[in-house]
Amino acid sequence: MSTVNCKGIVLSSSDFKEKDKLLTVLTSDRGLIRICVKGSAKQGSRNAAFTIPYILCDLVLTVSHGFYYLKEASIIENNSDILNHLTSLLTAAHIANSLIDLSFDTFENVHKYYELAVYAYYALARRPEDYLLIYSAFNWRLLTYAGHTLIYDNMDIDNSKNYDISLSDGALEEGTGTLTGSEVSALNHFSTCDINKLFTGKASDKVLKDLKDFTTAYMSFQFDKEYKSLDLLDKT
């Protein structure tokens, strides 16, 4: 039985057997792994705190027959405020589902995905009111890392005009589309800015809704899956 040390962010947690929890964790160097936390479903378990979704932890794991078991852990960021707002909770679930969908992507992108998740959950826990910005910025940066977006020349973008972006290949054309020039520039920013600036900034409600709708449609087409995590908010 070997031991490994890593950092990881909990994307999901489910009951396993009678008294255990099974975690899906995105780690900084091993990608997406499953970790069994023995006894954590029992009342008063000292390990229960490490099974709450969206926390960032230092982990000490044992490996037996290719399966990971939690030995020790310490919390780096608990991100607990995510759980206090429906908007941030639904956004967090979308982020987790999207990352899990990319679990079979090339190993070279693992650290980028991990870093993106850490920044996204940190921002969401501290500024839940900015959930639409965080949602759209996360979507477009994730798509960029996965090789599904294009970088547009800002010199060619006129903020007074509207544009169409092809869902299939990202080609940009001036037309009667729903994206304004400033919204296309925002997508460029999401693709290229320093990660510590990705989830900052302000925009109007209309711009935020346009970016949410477009990045959702684009991601759904590229990953061949419907992403509906925020649909519940349209019904409340």
Q: What is the CATH number of the domain that holds 10?
A: 2.40.50.140
- Domain interval for residue 18: 2-77
Q: Are residues 50 and 135 in the same domain?
A: no
pTM over 0.85: yes
Residue 223 has pLDDT above 60, yes or no: yes
Q: Are residues 147 and 228 in the same domain?
A: yes
Q: Are residues 220 and 189 in the same domain?
A: yes
DSSP state of 150: -
Of all residues in the chain, what percent carry a pLDDT higher than 70? 97
| Calpha distance 138→98 (Å, rounded) | 10
Tokens of 186: 């925002």
Nearest CA-CA partner of 149 in 215, 73, 91: 215
Q: Are residues 20 and 131 in the same domain?
A: no
Look at residues 21, 42, 77 and tell me which one is the last residue of a structural domain: 77
Look at residues 22, 42, 77 and tell me which one is the last residue of a structural domain: 77
Q: Which amino acid is at 30?
A: R
Q: Are residues 119 and 173 in the same domain?
A: yes
Look at residues 19, 48, 77 and tell me which one is the last residue of a structural domain: 77
Q: Are residues 90 and 49 in the same domain?
A: no
Q: Are residues 67 and 147 in the same domain?
A: no
Q: Are residues 86 and 36 in the same domain?
A: no
| Calpha distance 78→218 (Å, rounded) | 31
Residue 170 has pLDDT above 70, yes or no: yes
Residue 126 has pLDDT above 70, yes or no: yes
Q: Which has more confidence, 150 or 234? A: 150
Q: Residues for the chain: how many in total?
A: 236
Residue 143 has pLDDT above 90, yes or no: yes
Asked if 36 and 17 touch (Cβ cutoff 8 Å), the reply is no
Q: What is the CATH number of the domain that holds 213?
A: 1.20.1440
Q: Are residues 150 and 218 in the same domain?
A: yes
The residue-averaged pLDDT of 81-91 equals 96
The residue-averaged pLDDT of 137-158 equals 92
Q: Which amino acid is at 165?
A: I
The residue-averaged pLDDT of 210-230 equals 95
Average pLDDT, the chain: 91
The residue-averaged pLDDT of 26-44 equals 87
Residue 105 has pLDDT above 80, yes or no: no
**What's residue 145's pLDDT?**
94
Q: Are residues 103 and 8 in the same domain?
A: no
Q: Are residues 73 and 108 in the same domain?
A: no
The residue-averaged pLDDT of 48-71 equals 93
